[in-house]
Amino acid sequence: MTAVLELSLGYQHPAHRALRAYLREVATEVGVGLESVTVDLDTPVSAYLALDVRLPSHPGRDVALLWDERSGWAVAVETYSGEDLIVLRYLGGAVDASPREVSRFVNALRVGKQVGLTEPPSLRVPTGLDGLVLAPALVAA
């Protein structure tokens, strides 16, 4: 199920509520509202945050933050042809990195620094929402 995060309130799984709170914190930290966030609750659980930034390496392309339960955070750019996004860098570290760490990652890429990983890390086995209940940072959110 894919939904705009702001409109997915009716879904009451505990991990969904925790994920929603976490994504709200990340969105606030990177300077976008919940209207810029969508979530896909199928396995692997994932999210998309449309950003209001441009990257020096891709000045004419829209930029997005992507999150999934396997690889954590990544920065990607939109294509001109409507194909899949082009992932540029993965944050790595932890699937539930702090909102401040995610913001620093985005800001470093905005100024042209080559931070993060070029290949997707495998930080955890995707389990869907039931397994996310066990992730301490998500449950605490």
Average pLDDT, the chain: 86
CA distance 113 to 5: 30
The reported pLDDT for the residue numbered 130 is 83
How many structural domains comprise the chain?
1
The helix/strand/coil state of 8 is: coil
Q: Are 45 and 69 contacting, i.e. CB atoms less than 8 angstroms apart?
A: yes
Residue span of the structural domain in which 21 resides: 2-140
**Distances 40 to 1, 14, 48 between C-alpha atoms, Å:** 5, 15, 9
pLDDT tens, residue by residue, 49-94: 999 999 999 988 999 999 999 999 999 999 877 788 999 999 999 9
Percentage above 90 pLDDT, the chain: 64
What pTM did the predictor assign? 0.86
**The tokens of 57 are what?**
């390496």
CA distance 78 to 43: 23
Q: Are 68 and 90 contacting, i.e. CB atoms less than 8 angstroms apart?
A: no
Run of H or E including 136? helix 136-140
Percentage above 70 pLDDT, the chain: 86
Q: Quick one: DSSP state of residue 55?
A: B
Q: Are 5 and 34 contacting, i.e. CB atoms less than 8 angstroms apart?
A: yes
pLDDT band at 18 (very low <50, low <70, confident <90, very high): confident
Q: Are 55 and 88 contacting, i.e. CB atoms less than 8 angstroms apart?
A: yes
The helix/strand/coil state of 61 is: coil
